[in-house]
Amino acid sequence: MKYDYDLLVIGAGSGGVRAARIAAGYGQKVAICEADQVGGTCVIRGCVPKKLLVYAAQYKKMFSTAKAYGWNIQSQFDWSSLISNKDQEIDRLNGIYLNLLDNAGVELLQGFGAFVDPHTVAVDGDHHTARHILIATGGIPAVPNIPGRDQVITSNEALNLAKLPETITINGGGYIAVEFAGIFNALGVEVNLVYRGQQLLRGFDDEVAAFAQQAFTEAGIRVITNTEIDAVEKTARGLICHAGETGIESDVVLFATGRQANTAGLNLQAAGVDCQANGQVLVNHDQASSTPHIYAVGDVCNNDNLTPVAIKEGHLLVNRLFNDGKEYPEYDFIPTTVFSQPEIGTCGLTEAEARSNHAHIECFTSTFRAMKYAMSDVHEKTFMKLVVNQQTDQVLGIHVVGADAGEMIQGFAVALKQGLSKTQLNKTIGIHPTSAEELVTM
């Protein structure tokens, strides 16, 4: 059968764009459909705009520190200018992605794509057939079905608020919740961070999570744990979050209660594509769904919801499909960073994970005040932790809470992936004076 395309990608996020570009470079006829701006969650409404807001928020601490170094800075923050400049940058990046697709020879189908049958996708009423189809629609914020859910915003809307609120209640304890809590707190907003569990950042190393939570509290964030919001009520003064007998008032309520696969409306049943109960597409080792010529990459099908993972999956998939590739993604020692304040960088196993898999584990920790803040009234501290297998001497995990944690972890992740030992760390000469040198002297 003759198809319109060799590969049709649904979703022009980072994973889908990479797959489309590489496949077109191998001489395949490729199309990609997208109902929004090209770039996906990360570029348009996620990592990139959020990081720009994080940079803006960090200036408060920088200005405070500057006084100790002889700088007398008079500053005034303007939210509307930040959002306007952020939007211009996102538009610029969208343009770059459009050019990348165009230069690669990928046809952009502007509109929402949905399956008609296993080889056919309808985009705004027009039918397109393809030999291979890739689902790369990512994820969307999940909001629980509680009374008043229509009154809350998600991370999407938080990036585009018309004005900076005086008070905000953030419901959630994961990386998105703590990142926005840090942003708004640093920009002068009174922040309530509400979490149903005892400790924020579930899934992170326990000591890391506890240290970060204490730092958030000391920075002025009102952390409320063991509390679950079961309703949100609009009043003449603002909003009230009801949690049992407790009422929490604020101007804005942001729910950061997880994300779900963006599969609604794709009509996957028409293509015979099976999903998990949470909507994620089920895929095998080859990224193939239950319909063998239909594939999925990124947040729509896995639990490692990280842009570089989606990019790697998409790239290697089309290598195997169109260029005799043999390589598959590897999911061990994936580094990640929470752009909270202070920042959290981590790679490898937590102490609990290590102890559940190995009999003899030794941990090394260090807590100190970074030299940058030594002369200032900023009392933020840095925490570092190494998790080591005593029997093999292999470093199984490195965790950092503090300034530039992500930049440190990216470099050490390379060594961890290659089987770094504690002895090798000890033999490495540190760069003095830096915070990172602590990792080779513990």
Q: How far apart are CA 291 and CA 109, in angstroms?
A: 23
Cα-based distances in Å from 129 to 9, 19, 294: 11, 18, 12
**Closest by Cα among 215, 228, 241, 217 to 342:** 215
Partners of 365 in beta bridges: 385
Contact 201, 208 (CB under 8 A): yes
Contact 23, 7 (CB under 8 A): yes
Angle at 337 between CA 336 and CA 343, to 5 degrees: 160
336 contact partners, CB below 8 Å, separation of at least 6:
306, 345, 346, 347, 409
3-state secondary structure of 156: helix
Q: How far apart are CA 351 and CA 365, in angstroms?
A: 11
One-letter amino acid at 342 equals P
* Residue that has been written with the tokens 């937590």 in this structure: 350
Burial class (CB in 10 A: 0-12, 13-18, 19+), 23: buried
Q: Which residues are catalytic?
A: 432
Residue 246: CB atoms within 10 Å: 12
